[in-house]
Structure 1
């Protein structure tokens, strides 16, 4: 039997660094649209800035996945997070200097998105390298708990830091990325037994990964369902902000409401390793819960009420994330991990840049309440489609 996960120093360093940087990210994820809205008075522009970050991430995903398989994963992780620290510092400087125009913010968050495209698959290959296969599901559950713990503290902390000065949240974000880069460096990740050489052009590498994923019918269909869920789920953020503001909620109240995502996520991460439901059936259940919770948020139960539906749908989020992440890591060959992760993530998120723009547009046009009803109904329709789709997965034959 291998070393228990809690004593796996390499994984725990990666986890600790990820926890710190995730806290910084959750702080600025809410602060940034609030800041843009305060400057422009437009939910649309408040959606454009995070949409630009998502677009940059999507564009960089494919080459990043190939290069992660070719490069040293430790250096890739350290450098990508170091650049993210510099980018967050740049945001702070722009705010302090009075140059935080939409165009400047778009340029800086785009750099962050590109770095995230490299850090994501590098982190996935790093975990695969230091965690035994029989502990992967537990490891990914701990990863989920880390992210959701940050989502408890980050949203309410963001407006509090913002009250000290608009640049303060970005300074904190820069520090957290620097700490995460240091943790990745101290983890001393093992090199691959055989570092992959660029024997063929990038598009051939990507074609191999795409072909592999395409022939895994269940994974392919799950990815397509994630595509729709990421679009509709991501589009609900600005309508929730609009809904709280329509009821007279302050920025701090908005932060408290969004902390419900973290509270539910922690609860879900605690039980996710024990879930044995097949990924396909679990996906349908998750979609139903998401759709109903979107509809429930529109109920007139007070300014803090959306906290409850956000918490409830966040309980089921880690269940599907952990299950699919562990499934990917078990099925994908190590020398293709970066590429398949990039191809799969691209396929699942290619519409994500449109999500905040769509949510901001609809919230501005019809209000947060109506927008949430629309998105909830569309998610329930997606659940119906998923129920009649082949989402079965199995280890491919040799």
Structure 2
């Protein structure tokens, strides 16, 4: 296999100038968002020295996504997705500007900072379902997985770069400048997405309120491939999420060395970035179902191996494998959702996928901490990894459609785009 075919498939960058601009804008805004995550944590800890308040930062970011997501998805499936996404971007930028103002002035209660973070997350919950329709509408069907891989590899790269940049900016210029740079990054994203064509739903529009939400949930429970993909992801994160155990395992096995603890998270990220960068063969294979099952099982097995080893180097190797498996599982899950869901339902299903991605790790960290509390970190890792492997095996056995592969659901062909825009892909029956 040539190196060019092994690397992430870059055909979408040549096929669609609009996708290329959108990717650049979203990459810049992702960098700014990770800078803000670090800055908020730093500001709250510096002001309170309280782990309770520090933990509240995660809740302020996650709860709006979970509480608003499904209703936002229903609204997205009744509106022009481009306008909804622009509204979400503008709202997030405004919140970053307000965070910058309080960062420069100081003396703002921590509760007010968290309230701004929650409002910003709410705008993010509105924009995320709208963004979920862009790739399948801008790219031919056979390039959707490649487009998602490009989104993922740039996002992971910014996850590595953003905290480092935030640390430098915080040290040199302070929290106000960090927030201001985040606001500017949303401006870049807004400008990049402003050129997109109108993207109203194709097919029957969502019903308002709970009726539209119920229709989306009915599709999720009835479509075996999409349901199987989301349940597989939920099982992997709830049963085998390791992050909350890292400090305990580091203390139990490696004498609490802070250098080892830092390498744990870096190893997961390195595995994810490297695998996504070499995802060309996987995205061209066009069989996301089997890939997801294999990756989710590998995730569980690698974390069980990490729990068993007493060697720091072997442990880091297991975490690199786990990070690689996680990246493939996420890429496959997103590909399944965006190619198997009719356009008229895509906002709601993307919202549900986002909620699974937010809630699963939180519940997984809670489960891991509870198990470790009455046993040990290693026991929590090993049992979680084995339970994940068993759940994925059972899911694959009970969902042959996911095991064989996945094909798009029936959906109408989108209308022709305006002149100069790439044709939206026709969705073929699965």
Shorter-chain TM band: 0.7 to 0.9
- Pair 28,373 (structure 1): closer, same or farther in 2 beyond 3 Å: farther
- The answer on whether the counterparts of 1:130 and 1:189 sit within 8 Å (CA) in structure 2 is no
Query: Does 2:169 align with 1:169?
Result: no
Match for residue 348 of structure 2 among 333, 339, 342: 339
Query: Does 2:122 align with 1:114?
Result: yes
Cα deviation for residue 316 of structure 1 reads: 2.0
Query: Does 2:383 align with 1:374?
Result: no
User: For 1:381, what is the secondary structure of its paired residue?
Assistant: helix
- The answer on whether the counterparts of 2:235 and 2:392 sit within 8 Å (CA) in structure 1 is no
- Pair 27,380 (structure 1): closer, same or farther in 2 beyond 3 Å: farther
Equivalent residue number for residue 283 of structure 1: 293
> Aligned equivalents of 2:34 and 2:300: distance in 1?
21
Equivalent residue number for residue 149 of structure 1: 157
The CA deviation string for residues 274-324 of structure 1, in whole angstroms up to 9 with x for no partner, is 22466256335434435634763896767x998655543222222122222
Query: Does 2:214 align with 1:204?
Result: no
Of residues 122-131 and 254-263 in structure 1, the stretch that sits farther from structure 2 once superposed is: 254-263
> Aligned equivalents of 1:379 and 1:112: distance in 2?
34
- The answer on whether the counterparts of 2:146 and 2:280 sit within 8 Å (CA) in structure 1 is yes
Of residues 11-20 and 274-283 in structure 1, the stretch that sits farther from structure 2 once superposed is: 274-283
User: For 2:258, what is the secondary structure of its paired residue?
Assistant: coil
1:264-303 correspondence runs (5 A) = 264-275=271-282, 276=285, 279-280=289-290, 282-290=292-300, 292-293=302-303, 296=306
- Pair 387,67 (structure 1): closer, same or farther in 2 beyond 3 Å: same
- Pair 139,36 (structure 1): closer, same or farther in 2 beyond 3 Å: same
The CA deviation string for residues 15-72 of structure 1, in whole angstroms up to 9 with x for no partner, is 0011111112223334433443444344443222112211111111111101111122
- Pair 348,355 (structure 1): closer, same or farther in 2 beyond 3 Å: same
Cα deviation for residue 263 of structure 1 reads: 3.0
TM-score of the superposed pair, with normalisation by structure 1: 0.82
1:305-324 correspondence runs (5 A) = 310-324=319-333
- Pair 91,231 (structure 1): closer, same or farther in 2 beyond 3 Å: farther
User: For 1:388, what is the secondary structure of its paired residue?
Assistant: helix
- Pair 301,4 (structure 1): closer, same or farther in 2 beyond 3 Å: closer
Of residues 50-59 and 206-215 in structure 1, the stretch that sits farther from structure 2 once superposed is: 206-215
Of residues 174-183 and 21-30 in structure 1, the stretch that sits farther from structure 2 once superposed is: 21-30
TM-score of the superposed pair, with normalisation by structure 2: 0.76
The number of aligned residues is 387
> Aligned equivalents of 2:39 and 2:315: distance in 1?
19
The CA deviation string for residues 236-257 of structure 1, in whole angstroms up to 9 with x for no partner, is 445546877984538xx97776
- The answer on whether the counterparts of 1:51 and 1:353 sit within 8 Å (CA) in structure 2 is no
> Aligned equivalents of 1:93 and 1:301: distance in 2?
48
Note the residue ranges of structure 1 that are not aligned, 5 or more in a row: none
Equivalent residue number for residue 423 of structure 2: none
- The answer on whether the counterparts of 2:226 and 2:340 sit within 8 Å (CA) in structure 1 is no
Q: Which has the larger radius of gyration?
A: 2
> Aligned equivalents of 1:101 and 1:295: distance in 2?
44
Query: Does 2:166 align with 1:158?
Result: yes
- Pair 175,309 (structure 1): closer, same or farther in 2 beyond 3 Å: farther
Equivalent residue number for residue 29 of structure 2: 21
Cα deviation for residue 372 of structure 1 reads: 6.8
> Aligned equivalents of 1:124 and 1:329: distance in 2?
7
- The answer on whether the counterparts of 1:69 and 1:335 sit within 8 Å (CA) in structure 2 is yes
Query: Does 2:187 align with 1:178?
Result: yes
Cα deviation for residue 258 of structure 1 reads: 4.1
> Aligned equivalents of 2:377 and 2:57: distance in 1?
20
Note the residue ranges of structure 2 that are not aligned, 5 or more in a row: 1-9, 411-428
- Pair 308,179 (structure 1): closer, same or farther in 2 beyond 3 Å: farther
> Aligned equivalents of 2:184 and 2:249: distance in 1?
32
Of residues 115-124 and 253-262 in structure 1, the stretch that sits farther from structure 2 once superposed is: 253-262
- Pair 317,75 (structure 1): closer, same or farther in 2 beyond 3 Å: same
Query: Does 2:231 align with 1:221?
Result: no
User: For 1:15, what is the secondary structure of its paired residue?
Assistant: helix
> Aligned equivalents of 1:13 and 1:100: distance in 2?
37
1:185-200 correspondence runs (5 A) = 185=194, 187-192=195-200, 197=205, 200=207
Query: Does 2:54 align with 1:64?
Result: no
User: For 2:197, what is the secondary structure of its paired residue?
Assistant: coil
> Aligned equivalents of 1:298 and 1:310: distance in 2?
12
- The answer on whether the counterparts of 2:307 and 2:381 sit within 8 Å (CA) in structure 1 is no
